[in-house]
């Protein structure tokens, strides 16, 4: 590590000299431009030259040796890895594959199909990555799960109500959309030369991993709400909803005393739950365990 003094020049400028070896290594000279990234922890990262704006593209070649389900997984994988342009080339005319691929692309946030030919589909992400706010995305996921809890309570009171089941499944699909968007956003931020997301949650790179883990656990909670809705029995929905709200409120505040109290309450409830009694009770227990996981992640983020 090198140490250099801050110098004052003119009336209002502070300067720090750059190492001569670094300047020569990158082929820089007097008058050239360097890029600065101010990191959330207060540090500054310097890069030679101006940042290049490039579009990442991915070509997926699809044949019948893969199942339609694999086609869906490959498309989602390309999206969450941050590719701006996704091109799917079909070995032959494969109508069923095209239907599921098109449906998947249309479900991904910010994606638009720009070419649709018999053996090729090209989609482009129109998202402005700089406008994505991870705190807002997590807040949207939280809101969706709360709505799902509300539907679940009604479903338990009115089992077999098809309209409620359709609504809760629509909400779960929306939850997945935001989960994929968070994975994509985190992946793009991790691939940058500096962590510059300004939601207030990001202090260090580890916080990005923490947000990813929290989003994953929220998504899994949504899956188990659906499982209870499809196999309804008398579970304490209000208890789950209450603990969910309290735990997620700690993502930003990180009050470790409150997190500790919540973790102890959840642990006690988990121990007292007979998960073998029914499918619903098994999912009830798992939801509480996912809330514990979120609590552990919040603790790790607070310590980092």
Please name the fold of domain 7-48: Pemi-like Protein 1; Chain: D (2.10.260)
Q: Which two tokens stand for residue 8?
A: 């004052």
Quick one: pLDDT at residue 19?
Answer: 81
Domain residue extents for the chain: 7-48, 57-125, 131-303
CATH of domain 57-125: 3.30.1370.110
Strand runs labelled E in the chain: 7-9, 13-15, 34-38, 44-48, 57-62, 85-90, 111-117, 120-125
Quick one: pLDDT at residue 128?
Answer: 80
Q: Which residues contact 6 (CB under 8 A, 6 or more apart)?
A: 14, 15, 16
Q: Do 7-48 and 57-125 come out as alike in CATH topology?
A: no
- E strand or H helix at 148, and its extent? helix 134-157
Quick one: pLDDT at residue 12?
Answer: 65
Q: What is the reported pTM?
A: 0.80
Local confidence pLDDT in tens for the 304 residues of the chain: 677 777 766 666 777 787 877 677 777 777 777 767 555 555 677 767 665 545 689 999 999 999 999 999 999 999 999 999 999 999 998 999 999 999 999 999 999 999 999 999 999 998 887 778 899 999 999 999 999 999 999 999 988 789 999 999 999 999 999 999 999 999 888 876 555 555 556 667 788 899 999 999 999 999 999 999 999 999 999 999 999 999 999 999 999 999 999 999 999 999 999 999 999 999 999 999 999 999 999 999 998 7
Query: Which three-class secondary structure state does DSSP give residue 282?
Result: helix
**The CATH number, out of the four listed (3.20.20.120, 3.40.190.290, 3.30.465.10, 1.20.58.220), of the domain defined by the range 131-303:** 1.20.58.220
């Amino acid at each position: 590590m090198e140490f250099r003094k801050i110098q004052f020049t003119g009336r209002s400028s502070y300067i720090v000299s750059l190492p001569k070896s670094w300047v020569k290594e990158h082929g820089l000279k007097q008058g050239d431009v360097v890029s600065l990234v101010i990191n959330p922890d207060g540090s500054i990262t310097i890069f030679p030259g101006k940042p290049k704006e490039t579009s990442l593209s991915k070509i997926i070649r699809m044949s019948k040796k893969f199942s339609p389900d694999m086609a869906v997984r490959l498309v989602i994988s390309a999206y969450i890895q941050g590719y701006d342009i996704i091109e799917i080339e079909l070995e032959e005319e494969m109508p069923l594959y095209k239907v599921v691929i098109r449906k998947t692309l249309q479900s991904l946030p910010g994606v638009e199909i720009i070419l649709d030919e018999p053996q090729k589909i090209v989609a482009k992400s129109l998202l402005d990555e700089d406008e994505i706010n991870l705190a807002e995305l997590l807040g949207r996921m939280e809101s969706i799960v709360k709505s799902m809890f509300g539907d679940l309570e009604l479903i338990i009171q009115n089992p077999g109500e098809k309209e409620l089941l359709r609504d809760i499944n629509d909400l779960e699909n929306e939850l997945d959309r935001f989960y994929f968007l968070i994975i994509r956003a985190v992946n793009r931020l991790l691939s940058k030369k500096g962590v510059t997301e300004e939601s207030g949650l990001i202090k260090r790179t580890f916080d990005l991993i923490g947000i990813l883990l929290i989003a994953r656990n929220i998504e899994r909670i949504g899956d188990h709400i659906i499982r209870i809705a499809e196999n309804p029995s008398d579970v304490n929905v209000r208890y789950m909803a209450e603990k969910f709200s309290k735990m997620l409120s700690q993502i930003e505040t990180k009050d470790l005393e409150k997190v500790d109290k919540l973790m102890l309450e959840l642990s006690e409830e988990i121990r007292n739950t007979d998960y073998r009694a029914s499918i619903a009770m098994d999912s009830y227990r798992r939801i509480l365990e996912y809330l514990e996981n979120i609590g552990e992640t919040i603790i790790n983020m607070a310590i980092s």
